[in-house]
Structure 1
Amino acid sequence: MTVRKIVVMGVSGSGKSLVGERLGDLLDVQFFDADDYHSESNVQKMANGIPLTDEDRRDWLTDLADLIRREAGLVLACSALKKTYRDQLRTGDPSLKFLYLKGDFETIWSRHAQRQDHYFTGQDMLESQFLSLEEPDANEAYIIDISATPEAVLKQCIAALSIKPQDDLDQ
């Protein structure tokens, strides 16, 4: 059985979009970035350096679960910082697989410093994400070390999911 619905999760700057996009291409399923589903008020809060609350995320998570439910297959880049958020996403499909891109604060902050034109700004916001993060264990997600190159991280994801590029995704 081939995995059809995957969430690439982690704090901002962990490489979710880059890895997710490449994984979507490899699996020949559509890639979605959860950031594109935030309300304008959530985007404004983050642009102003204000961390989102659970209440801010409620409708966003509902919309993402609906997206997961609608799609036959997808890769979704989503922070999914708390277990309750991941549980809400799983309402879209109980067999949803999570890849947790795990890295330390210094590594991820150095990546943030290289980003341009992203509404997520400030060291305080990244610290807030690390404080909010309820790391999944190996029973809930595949844990992927992001200290290597993006190509090596993608290879870890492929190995964790037991994906072979020649897999027939229609079986």
Structure 2
Amino acid sequence: MIKKVIVLGVSGSGKSSIGQRLADQLGYPFFDGDDYHSEANVKKMAAGTPLNDDDRMGWLETLNQLLVEHDTAVIACSGLKPEYRQILRNNIDQLAMVYLKGDIETIWQRHQKRDGHYFNGRSMLESQFATLVEPTSDEAIIVDINQDVDAVYHQALAQLQA
């Protein structure tokens, strides 16, 4: 059985909710990548300014360290580029990535229903889509989020257990 899982996708794709449910089902600790951003990163995003590669490096290394330090874990992290995913994967065995794939309109609809999240505005979401290099099926389990959350969860879980 896979011991470590990273749930990938742009902001609003469902990483936290799906990741938490997977962690609960597997009996693994869950770490929401959003909780590990530096104060400077949070302020930048709250002001509507997208993060750049330099902003993300320390954050990605922190998430990788969580994976290294725990025998089992599920982490929610955007993982927008292959080089980001490589940092997350450093020194990790038995790792699966689950990519929550969705289009900008579906995800923007979800964003508009969120309260109290620092990720600010459609331009920020557009920036994530512009940065995104989708993982291939060789790199990640790909789950289409254009279905209800239970179906997304069950599809991800079934593929992890396969």
Unaligned stretches of 5+ in structure 2? none
Partner of 2:95: 96
CA deviation map 1:40-83 (0-9, x unaligned) = 00000000000001000111111111110000001000000000
Partner of 2:127: 128
1:34 Cα deviation (Å)?
Answer: 0.5
Could you list the structure 1 runs, at least 4 aligned residues long, displaced by more than 2 angstroms after superposition. none
Larger-gyration structure (1/2) = 1
Partner of 2:69: 70
1:22 Cα deviation (Å)?
Answer: 0.4
Does the 8 Å contact 1:67/1:92 carry over to 2? no
CA deviation map 1:2-58 (0-9, x unaligned) = 111000000000000000000000000001001111000000000000000100011
TM-score scaled by length of structure 1: 0.93
Return 129-138 or 90-99, whichever deviates more: 90-99
Does the 8 Å contact 1:66/1:92 carry over to 2? no
Unaligned stretches of 5+ in structure 1? 164-171
Cα separation, 2, equivalents of 1:94 and 1:50: 35
Cα separation, 1, equivalents of 2:91 and 2:97: 13
Q: Kindly tell me: are residues 87 and 94 of structure 1, through their superposed partners in 2, closer, same or farther at Cα, counting changes over 3 Å?
A: farther
Cα separation, 2, equivalents of 1:124 and 1:28: 37
1:95 Cα deviation (Å)?
Answer: 3.1
Cα separation, 1, equivalents of 2:156 and 2:94: 17
Pairing 1:11-50 to 2, within 5 Å after superposition: 11-50=10-49
Cα separation, 1, equivalents of 2:133 and 2:159: 21
Partner of 1:169: none
1:162 Cα deviation (Å)?
Answer: 2.1
Partner of 1:53: 52
The count of residues paired between Structure 1 and Structure 2 equals 162
Does the 8 Å contact 2:67/2:92 carry over to 1? yes
Cα separation, 2, equivalents of 1:147 and 1:137: 18
1:121 Cα deviation (Å)?
Answer: 1.1
Cα separation, 1, equivalents of 2:59 and 2:15: 17
Cα separation, 2, equivalents of 1:96 and 1:48: 34
Cα separation, 1, equivalents of 2:10 and 2:101: 8
SS in 2 for 1:49: coil
